[in-house]
A and B are shown apart, each in its own frame.
Chain A
Amino acid sequence: MQSSLSLSFSQGSSAVALAPRSRLSPDSLPLASPAAPASLRFCGLRREALGFSSLRKSGCGASGSVLVASQNRAPGRVSASASDNGSAPKSFDYDLVIIGAGVGGHGAALNAVEMGLKTAIIEGDVVGGTCVNRGCVPSKALLAVSGRMRELQSDHHLKALGLQVAAAGYDRQAVADHANNLASKIRNNLTNSMKALGVDILTGVGTVLGPQKVKYGKDNVITAKDIIIATGSVPFVPRGIEVDGKTVITSDHALKLESVPDWIAIVGSGYIGLEFSDVYTALGSEVTFIEALDQLMPGFDPEIGKLAQRVLINPRKIDYHTGVFASKITPAKDGKPVTIELIDAKTKEPKDTLEVDAALIATGRAPFTQGLGLENVNVVTQRGFVPVDERMRVIDANGNLVPHLYCIGDANGKMMLAHAASAQGISVVEQVTGKDHVLNHLSIPAACFTHPEISMVGLTEPQAREKAEKEGFEVSVAKTSFKANTKALAENEGEGLAKLIYRPDNGEILGVHIFGLHAADLIHEVSNAIALGTRIHEIKYAVHAHPTLSEVVDELFKSAKVHSQAPSPVSEPVAV
């Protein structure tokens, strides 16, 4: 169904037409096409389709080493086993040195060892980086608490399920401890996994001294055949904002949950701000969003954003100011509240002043690349980001590639997500071990862990339409609602929408956006399909267990209308 379909209805004289927002009635499902036997190949292996995965035979160290030896390394050291962290090349201390032991560096290190590279990882702070210590991980602990609080506080929801719960309460310190304990547990897991494989963890700030040469700590200089910069990012604090760590805070402080203010202003309504609004409102705070753009939740598909606003913002104790900058934020002191001066984002005229108990700065993240010694290899950062090509190879001031130097993760700014950094790291290791690999960023999913969750992969509808116009293809949109899903209704969580943006001519998936119960877990079916190049008319015959939430995605594929004459990329059927 197309979103702009106009149809008239019984009231002929009325001044309206309809466009379906979500398709729901199961009786209008397209039946499986008669061409079904031909498309049985959907379950055949697509060996030619992209990727390093076919090369990574698990636990098979010898084959990894052979492969490495064939291209990058001197023959004669074929016997290295995957768990031995390789052995040092003659001229270099290490095959690979990674600066930064966050999730990106960790992913690269693990893959490097598996590929037989002698690997070291330099960390100037704590292993785990932002994600584990000050990001994804502790925030999930807080969100797990807020999700349960929300359930226990939702009287009519509980009543509808027949449950009776007396007033739910929480102990702030215990919640904070849960987040902290989770972070240390994951940090230990991460450290141990690298130690077990024999990755050398070098402590100290890493600096690039020159080509293939790195200094760490005070004056330890090591050489490496290849270097990966994976230094990540820090919270971005715009000018005029004074962070005191108590009443004006960033996500770093907020995750420690040292206080739950009555009223907190959140500057920025991206996914960080949204997740914190979920936590704070569940714990009893009231929230004011300050967003520089005209709409809340920029970056999300507009339709999903609109629905999310209806569910995550409007009914909660949240208000917002859009189209304004927080030009000055002063922390609370001497009995005065936190004051926030707002100016119009366009005219820069003063608009309003807010007085709140606390302010959380969630205006995004800035790359952490200072002191990296990039000037030693003639690299100039762009707004702090290290410029790279599509293979994560660092580009110098003259536009030339810097040999043997790579940058992954938040520091390159391509896609500031932990799992993207890890994927980039793996991609780099593939390249330095002789296998060309380009990561398809459009197949990397993203998720926002509000209640309910938001997830997405690929393009938003406006992005897809822009691309379609440029490249001259047609775009269609299919939608399904959680209201029609049995499992969602059983949970009494029917609020939600899944949206598929695709090419009706060849069944290519351009993007999928899901807002609803467990959306973050549902997106992977789609991101895998995109990564493997699976087309809608192939995946739509895959079977989903009933009743599960995954049927939302199933219905999405089934409701897409792909022109049947679409040529198939796989020509011969595969026996199963």
Chain B
Amino acid sequence: MAHLLKTTFISSSPALRPRRIPGHRAGRVSTHPVQAKIREIFMPALSSTMTEGKIVSWVKSEGDKLSKGESVVVVESDKADMDVETFYDGYLAAIVVEEGGVAPVGSAIALLAESEEEIAEAKFKAGSSGLPSSDQSAAPAAQETVPENAGPATPPPQAAKATAAAASAGSAVHPASEGGKRIVASPYAKKLAKELKVELGRIVGSGPNGRIVAKDIEAAAADLAVAAAPAPGSAAPPAAAAVELGTVVPFTTMQGAVSRNMVESLSVPTFRVGYTITTDALDALYKKIKSKGVTMTALLAKATALALVKHPVVNSSCRDGKSFTYNSNINIAVAVAMDGGLITPVLQDADKVDIYSLSRKWKELVDKARAKQLQPHEYNTGTFTLSNLGIFGVDRFDAILPPGTGAIMAVGASQPTVVASKDGRIGMKNQMQVNVTADHRVIYGADLASFLQTLAKIIDDPKDLTF
């Protein structure tokens, strides 16, 4: 959505954009010498037509002493690369726009402190005030943590939470690192990690001798992106794009299709069965293999698929009102909210594909869904559907059965719960509630009950998920 704001600040390469903290406008100082002793270095106008400049490289780094006339930074304009020199003696206190970043002419790209003591102050200024260099630049910059085209912004706390969770997980051992003392990563992996802001220390390498290679970084980054993306199965996220009140807006094609399906579902006699599942073991497993690119969505899909193997009737459907259609494949559809709609990418043969491939496939599907490039067979071949609003903190809900399938499972958040055990003790366990909606013409109550029992067992002892 950044591009809607028509700011010139946004660079074309998302990975290189400087992260900013949203600024308080009140703190903005409009006169140029911020204080007598901390000065701003501006993006200069290198030609009459130049409106913005790209930082090619910083000749000096933070903390370096500068003397008047020394080159500080190389700037690329629409015409040429120029050395930018300082007019004052002092210290380069803080770099505001990193190498590769783009800034409009006249905006601050660095702070110059007169003495060493003021470096810290200048740094603080750069960090906390956000140095609004041009109108609106700080606000959109803050939202750039949301992956491209992720649609209406995810509520920031959610994204932050997911990222934090992702970051804290995966403190595994690196075979090539001599007990974590040393990280062995290939040159390209290091470069990618920097670009994608992935911490090398948290990744287990899959290369020779446990070396971290590029694909490990990509998997880790994809993981972060999926975690931060809008949760599957949700309705339009709260911070929706500006809607003009008082108007009538026709459905898009996708919304029209959703509407038709929802009405059609009314002709199916459905019922619901809920179950509470303890997820401590699953959470622990997730923590362990997350760094290999495994996502929670893939784990849930896998667990569900393995349970379905034992209960083929729950994977069946009723097409004509007269017969069971037992599906030969277990294809798990997972609801994904996207810009102004909902789609259900399908993980085919989820019972047979290993968890790592499944996670990769999932990432691929989500990317395709975002780019609106899913092929029909990638969203309409599901035999069982998952909808997970747990990532928004929803603890329970029920779902509408998509026509043509037998059952859909609504997954709530896993949260610490005080549990009384049979031996009379009270303990803390992570539990989540699931709720299956099924077509009673083919799936009966006992079928669902025993399916859920199996699923709960698998999740409680998830060693089979990784083979």
Contact = CB atoms under 8 A, between A and B. Distances in A.
A287 B42 contact: no
B187 A14 contact: no
Contact of B69 (A13, A14, A17, A262): A17
A13 B214 CA distance: 46
Interface string A268-293: 00000000000000000011100000
B79 A14 contact: no
A72 interface: no
Interface stretch (A20-28, A57-65, A185-193, A561-569): A20-28
Given A262-B186, A357-B208, A481 B80 contact: yes
Interface in B68-92: 69, 71-72, 74, 79-88
Given A11-B42, A11-B44, A15-B88, A21 B211 contact: no
B23 to A, nearest CB: 20
B80 A23 contact: yes
Interface stretch (B32-40, B223-231, B395-403): B32-40
Interface stretch (A2-10, A322-330, A439-447): A2-10
Given A16-B72, A22-B81, A262 B208 contact: yes
B176 A14 contact: no
B191 interface: yes
B85 A16 contact: yes
B87 A20 contact: no
B163 interface: no
A553 to B, nearest CB: 18
B188 interface: yes
B190 interface: yes
Given A353-B182, A355-B176, A19 B45 contact: no
A318 interface: yes
A3 B83 CA distance: 9
B83 A21 contact: yes
Contacts of A256: none
A14 B109 CA distance: 11
Interface in B139-197: 176, 182, 184, 186-191
Contacts of B57: 306, 310
Contacts of A337: 208-209
A484 to B, nearest CB: 8
A319 B193 CA distance: 13
A18 interface: yes
Contacts of A13: 32-33
A263 interface: yes
A18 B82 contact: yes
Nearest to A306: B57
Nearest to B69: A6
Nearest to B68: A17
Nearest to B76: A21
A314 B188 CA distance: 10
Interface in A422-455: none
B187 A16 contact: no
A18 B188 contact: no
A393 interface: no
Contacts of A365: none
A18 B83 contact: yes
Given A9-B45, A16-B86, A16-B87, A319 B80 contact: no
Contact of A19 (B85, B87, B186): B85
Contact of B42 (A3, A16, A262, A288): A16
Nearest to B209: A337
A501 B42 CA distance: 31
Contact of B56 (A6, A262, A310, A483): A310
A16 B40 CA distance: 9
B186 A263 contact: yes
B455 interface: no
A346 to B, nearest CB: 20
Given A9-B45, A21-B80, A262-B207, A15 B86 contact: yes
B108 to A, nearest CB: 9
A37 B57 CA distance: 45
B87 A14 contact: yes
B63 interface: no
A505 B322 CA distance: 102
A263 B42 CA distance: 41
B69 A288 contact: no
B84 A16 contact: yes
B84 A319 contact: no
Contacts of B39: 15
B209 A19 contact: no
Given A6-B85, A10-B45, A15 B112 contact: yes
Contacts of B184: 355
B113 to A, nearest CB: 11
Given A19-B82, A24-B80, A337-B209, A318 B44 contact: no
Most buried by B among A9, A15, A319, A357: A15
A11 B42 CA distance: 9
Given A22-B80, A262-B207, A319 B87 contact: no
B41 interface: yes
B274 interface: no
A4 B39 CA distance: 23
B201 interface: no
B46 interface: yes
Interface in B266-325: none
Contacts of B56: 310
Given A4-B69, A22-B81, A357-B208, A15 B186 contact: no
Most buried by A among B42, B46, B81, B213: B81
A526 B188 CA distance: 38
Given A15-B41, A18-B44, A353-B182, A263 B187 contact: yes
Most buried by A among B83, B106, B112: B83
Interface string B46-78: 100000000011000000000001011010000
Contacts of B32: 13-14
A317 interface: yes
Contacts of B82: 18-21
Contacts of A15: 39-42, 86-88, 112
B41 A14 contact: yes
B96 to A, nearest CB: 13
Nearest to A12: B32
A318 B188 CA distance: 7
Given A19-B71, A24-B79, A317 B208 contact: no
B37 to A, nearest CB: 12
B111 to A, nearest CB: 10
A24 B46 CA distance: 12
Contacts of A336: 209
Given A286-B186, A481-B80, A18 B46 contact: yes
Contacts of B208: 262, 337, 357
Interface string B202-225: 000001110101100000000000
Contacts of A23: 80
B211 to A, nearest CB: 7
Nearest to B31: A13
Contacts of A24: 79-80
Interface in B345-383: none
Contacts of A310: 56-57
27 contacts: A6-B85, A11-B42, A11-B45, A14-B44, A15-B41, A16-B42, A16-B72, A16-B85, A17-B85, A18-B44, A19-B85, A20-B82, A21-B74, A21-B80, A21-B83, A22-B81, A286-B186, A310-B57, A317-B188, A318-B187, A336-B209, A337-B209, A353-B182, A355-B176, A355-B184, A355-B209, A357-B208
Top 10 closest pairs, chain A to chain B, by CB: A317-B188, A319-B187, A14-B42, A13-B32, A21-B81, A17-B85, A286-B187, A19-B83, A15-B39, A286-B186
Interface of B: 32-33, 39-42, 44-46, 56-57, 69, 71-72, 74, 79-88, 106, 112, 176, 182, 184, 186-191, 207-209, 211, 213-214
Interface of A: 3-4, 6, 9-11, 13-25, 262-263, 286-288, 306, 310, 317-319, 336-337, 353, 355, 357, 481, 483
